[in-house]
Structure 1
């Protein structure tokens, strides 16, 4: 319980809740463990719970009408998914899969709804946070609209760095087991385009990528390269 309470206190959705309110949410959570490459839920299936990652790595994926996979997000410790899970009755919007062995706490949607009905103060605080998140997402979408492949790839790298990067000897290191195809899916382009752009970044000494790491040697140079 103490592990879950500490986790929930760091979830942006619950940032304005009191200790007592967080404990009431923790009381309805269910611990679950998923081995590597296990599907947690599939796109289009009935929405039953919202998940909070204790440790591990999860990717959420959508498949378009042509059968092409697009990675929506990579999620790690402290992240919640799906983001609108508590307030949307539609099926899961994407498929979630454990990239590595992953531990989560699942909060059933119906139990959370009952908690909101019995504790309106929680409902009001959570809705305020969601409103701010919607505005943030709108701004990000506007920023990405119309960008070329180079800008989209750099935007993906910078977003991953902000969420998963650690500073090491002046560089930013991302310990993520992602592939060139994963980056292509996130940037909305082809693996060949990502290969070409990463090779250019490697030649310039700006960034590099291995099977389990992405290294950004110079973030400012990366931003300048995107605009060159």
Structure 2
């Protein structure tokens, strides 16, 4: 659970007096798993700062869910719409587990951003990171077959949420097949088939929704021809270097 505003990405560079002034403006909110914090096309402008738990950002197109990204403690959602004067939210945000968050009104967030330019600079960096992730998703959806989509998403998860354990990489984030499939735009049946094949080939293990990559180098050798450097797979740039998971 985050209690120190220094652990919030947008506020990392603010002076102590600013943090003391911001704290009373924050309203604590709790969201249960599968609760929607933000609805696509809604006109609300509140900003949510995650203190614990994780959320997914997604859109529903022709009754199909497309997952764009995930956010973790210390990060915020809704801040880009607060800055931009459009009339509606660009995507929905849903709790992946129980989420504790601080709510900050749009007017209060903008007042902070106007007084402290570092907040706007970080918003720009965050936007660039979003575009990088979406660019990779376009490649997945447009040019890769199912096997390569699954393999490349496993590598993305390894570089962003992986923990090395005795030469293996454990993905420190439980994913159902439904969520994983919606991340790369395939059916759950297709994903399950490829996951089983990867397990049979000794590339991965999966226990209780937790994926462990057994042989990451072989996974890279087989499916990583399009990406020259691991940094290209990062969901957050160096400017957002922080512990995303507690």
Shorter-chain TM band: 0.7 to 0.9
The two structures, once aligned, show a CA RMSD in angstroms of 2.6
Distance 1:44 1:184 in 2: 24
| Structure 1 residue runs without a partner (length 5+) | none
SS state at 2:160 partner? helix
For each residue in 1:32-71, what CA deviation from the matched residue of structure 2 results, as whole angstroms up to 9, or x when unmatched?
Answer: 111222222221112331112211222222101x111112
- Quick one: structure 1 residues 3 and 163, their matched pair in 2 at CA, closer, same or farther if it must change by over 3 Å? same
Shift of 1:139: 4.5
Distance 1:83 1:197 in 2: 37
Among residues 178, 181, 188, which one is paired with 2:178 in the alignment?
181
- Quick one: structure 1 residues 218 and 139, their matched pair in 2 at CA, closer, same or farther if it must change by over 3 Å? same
Structure 1 partner of 2:50: 53
Structure 2 partner of 1:86: 82
Q: Does the 8 Å contact 2:45/2:82 carry over to 1?
A: no
- Please report the TM-score for the alignment, with normalisation by the length of structure 1: 0.81
- Please report the TM-score for the alignment, with normalisation by the length of structure 2: 0.76
1:215 is aligned to 2:187: no
Q: Does the 8 Å contact 1:179/1:211 carry over to 2?
A: no
Q: How does 1:68-217 map to 2 (within 5 A)?
A: 68-82=64-78, 84-89=80-85, 90-117=87-114, 119=115, 122=116, 124-143=117-136, 144-145=138-139, 146-148=142-144, 149-217=146-214
Distance 1:56 1:137 in 2: 20
Shift of 1:136: 4.2
Bigger shift: residues 27-36 or 125-134 = 125-134
- Quick one: structure 1 residues 114 and 14, their matched pair in 2 at CA, closer, same or farther if it must change by over 3 Å? closer
- Quick one: structure 1 residues 135 and 57, their matched pair in 2 at CA, closer, same or farther if it must change by over 3 Å? closer
After TM superposition, the runs of 4+ consecutive aligned structure 1 residues lying more than 6 A away are none
Bigger shift: residues 18-27 or 39-48 = 18-27
| Structure 2 residue runs without a partner (length 5+) | 226-246
